[in-house]
Amino acid sequence: MKPNRTSRLSRALAAAAAGLALTASAGHAADVTLLNASYDPTRELYQDYNAAFAKYWKDKTGDTVTVKQSHGGSGKQARSVIDGLQADVVTLALAGDIDQIASKGKLLPEHWQLRLPNNATPYNSTIVFLVRKGNPKGIKDWPDLVKQGVEVVTPNPKTSGGARWNYLAAWGYALKQPGGTDATAREFVKKLFANVKVLDTGARGALTTFTERGIGDVLISWENEAYLATKELGPDKYEIVTPSLSILAEPPVAVVDKVVDKRGTRKVAEAYLQYLYSPEGQDIVGKHYYRPYDLAVARSTRSSSPRSSC
């Protein structure tokens, strides 16, 4: 029995509809949106990097990618991801924060650091002091921060990854002194925090407190944030003091597996982090005063750095 015109027309319409559905699906897949949950001072870095990656991805695949940013204290950001923030990638201040996302949130494997070079750390930084022009309190090293009458600004270690690096740098300095023990280091850090007048939730908030509100004699800061402040606000207003001993701060990055698999964004998310290690990615990192993983790029940027305590 031959099919009638109505059944042939129905099949043709169904095929056309399926074709349109496939075309629409392909068009949708070509427009991808990622969310990068990052810590406070990386705003400017990722604004530039996102634009560079979007161009690279468009040239390579023809697809359009838009990267949205979420910023805050590193510990606070980690808790937000655990509590349901749909971040495709996290670029946080400490490995411990991403470990929490793995162990408590079960959102990525515990071996996440093995999936990218240099323990998933495409750049690093250190801790320095930012003081007002002329350095009125004569601050040169860590012992000056525990002197009576010196007001210190640092974020809250409970919410800020940068603050935890600040804490560890101060602890490391005290521990390395003659006769240094955990007890003397603890006492030194206790005295330092007794001079802290404001504990902001993140590093950018602490910078605002120091520069815009005029609070404090010294800001304990990420090196990259201090350089950004002198560039944006003027070297006639602030100076950077490099302590005799500091710490190598290593902010890592990771894909959030449960999110990318749910959203279908794994391929783009992985490429987004891998591109941080490319020559262009490393160049952008260096231009924003971070220390690139690529030593060739690092040598072409400024080399002023304090000796690390670890």
Phi-psi category of residue 203: left, alpha or beta, with phi > 0 → left and psi -120 to 50 → alpha: alpha
C-alpha dist (Å) from residue 303 to 32, 42, 240: 38, 20, 14
Clarify whether residues 173 and 105 are in a common domain.
Answer: no
Domain co-membership, 289 together with 193: no
pLDDT of the residue at 300: 72
Question: How confident is residue 205, by pLDDT bands cut at 50, 70 and 90?
Answer: very high
Last residue of a domain, one of 246, 264, 295: 246
Query: Which pLDDT belongs to residue 21?
Result: 40
Range of the domain at 177: 127-246
Residues above pLDDT 70, as percent of the chain: 87
37 and 78 share a domain?
yes
Residue type, 169: A
Question: In the structure encoding, which two tokens stand for residue 80, read together?
Answer: 């937000």
- Whether 239 and 266 map to the same domain: the answer is no
Same domain? For 205 and 242 the reply is: yes
State the DSSP code for 249: B
Q: Which of 158, 198, 154, 164 is nearest to 76 (CA)?
A: 158
Here the CATH number for the domain that contains residue 198 is 3.40.190.10
pLDDT tens digits, one per residue of 90-133:
999 999 999 999 999 999 999 999 999 999 999 999 999 999 99
Average pLDDT for the chain: 90
Q: Do 97 and 240 reside in the same domain of the chain?
A: no
Residue at a domain's end among 246, 266, 292: 246
Which burial class, exposed, middle or buried, applies to 16 when counting CB atoms under 10 A from its CB (0-12, 13-18, 19+)? exposed
List C-alpha distances in Å: 68 to 35, 141, 252. Answer: 5, 39, 19
Q: Tens of pLDDT along 162-203?
A: 999 999 999 999 999 999 999 999 999 999 999 998 999 999
Count of domains forming the chain: 2
What global pTM score does this model have?
0.86
pLDDT of the residue at 301: 64
Residue that finishes a domain, picked among 229, 246, 263 = 246
CA distance 80 to 155: 18
Give the model confidence (pLDDT) of 29-85 as tens digits. 479 999 999 999 999 999 999 999 999 999 999 999 999 999 999 999 999 999 999
Structural domain includes residue 75: yes
- When comparing pLDDT for 201 and 302, which is higher? 201
User: Do 303 and 297 contact (CB within 8 A), yes or no?
Assistant: no
User: Within its chain, how far is the Cα of 83 from the centroid?
Assistant: 19
The 3-state DSSP class for residue 19 equals helix
Closest CA to 123 of 304, 290, 269, 279: 290
Does residue 157 register a pLDDT over 80?
A: yes
For residue 6, pLDDT beyond 50:
no
* Confidence class for position 302, pLDDT limits 50, 70, 90: low
Is there a domain that residue 207 lies in?
yes
Q: 3-class SS at 128?
A: strand
Residue 300 vs residue 292, higher pLDDT = 292
Question: Is residue 287 over pLDDT 80?
Answer: yes
Residues 131 and 142 in one domain: yes
Let me know if residue 1 belongs to a domain.
no
Q: Which of 239, 253, 282, 292 is nearest to 161 (CA)?
A: 253
